[in-house]
Structure formats: C-alpha cells, structure tokens
Amino acid sequence: MTGLLIVVDYQNDFVGGALGFEGAELLDKKIAARIREYGSGNVIFTRDTHSVDYLDTREGKHLPIPNCIKGTHGHEVYGETKKALEEVGAAGFDKEAFGLRLNDEIRKSLPASPDTIEIAGLVSNICVLSNAVIFQTEYPQAQIVVDAELTASFDGALNEKTLDVLEGLQVNVLNRKKEA
C-alpha cells in the first residue's frame, strides 16, 4: 500500500496573519504528528504564493487582503508543522491558485499510483477542496481522504458544508463530529 499526505497551505498568514482565524492554530500539532506518521518520501506540501501585485490579480480583486506574499513571514509554513515537514524532507510547491497545477516536476515527487491520498491543511472550503478534486481527477483509483480534525475554515458552517461536498465526491472524511 502506498500512501501520500498533502499538507495544503498551512502558512502563517492563514493561521495568525492576514487571513488567520481562531482555531487554525489548533491544527498544528495534529498535522505535524500526521506528517511524522507518513514519514520520509510520503509527504508533500503546498504554499499559497502571491507577489506584490496581488491586488491586481483576479483573486486579489475578489479578496482584497494581501496574503502569502513570497519572501514574507506570512508565506512561510507555520509552527510545528514546518519542523515536521523539514524532518521528513517533504517537497514543497508554490501555487498561485487554489489548486496545485500538476506539472512534470511535481509528478516526479509523487508515487506513480498511490492507494490513498490524504489531504490536510487550510482552508477547507477553498484550497483543500480544490486539491481534493485535482488529485481525485489525477488519481481516479486512489482513495482520497480528508481528516476533519486536520482542516478548518474561517466559517464553521461553510466548513461543514464543504465536508458534505467532499463526502458527495466520494472522499473519505474521517473524524467528523456530526450533530445528532
């Protein structure tokens, strides 16, 4: 069995910076532990990446809050997660849009046909969802997994709706606490 963990955009600006939200910091130790469980060769991560002209981009016009500007503290991966990624030698990839554009360089760092692809990180209803769709399309036979304890959103209701959509897309959502 081959598994791959993708840590999406767990960056300073999404935790306590420009787009940070309460509760995002609580994911740090859990994501770091999961990285260490997967170990070397089985983890990649993404960094939302913008330049100083962010406000002139399509995204910047819809969300006019400069964030994850390359070379700034906000662009860096947050806390214990950063340490764990370094420990396992995870490959990191900058992305300019919500989803990772899988090019030859990225494909070379991925297993040829993983059985499972787990996605963790931020923000559930934007980049986590986008990457789940991309990887499900790229690897149609792999089981895509999202652990509800390893993702979050600035909007709790939207997070729950996103988990519903992921389940509707046949993503295996783990550790979801549904109200009765």
pLDDT: which is higher, 179 or 15: 15
- Residue of 131, 102, 100 lying closest to 118 (CA atoms): 131
pLDDT in the model for residue 1: 57
Mean pLDDT of the 78-88 span? 98
CB 92 within 8 A of CB 121: no
Cα 31 to Cα 35: distance, rounded to the nearest angstrom? 6
pLDDT in the model for residue 168: 97
pLDDT: which is higher, 174 or 102: 174
Q: What's the CATH class of domain 3-47+77-91+98-174?
A: alpha beta
pLDDT bracket for residue 110 (50, 70, 90) = confident
pLDDT bracket for residue 111 (50, 70, 90) = confident
Per-residue CA distances from 27 to 33, 108, 121, 168 (Å): 10, 29, 8, 24
Mean pLDDT of the 168-177 span? 95
The two tokens of residue 27 are 């994911």
Rounded to 5°, angle at Cα 90 from 9 and 168: 50
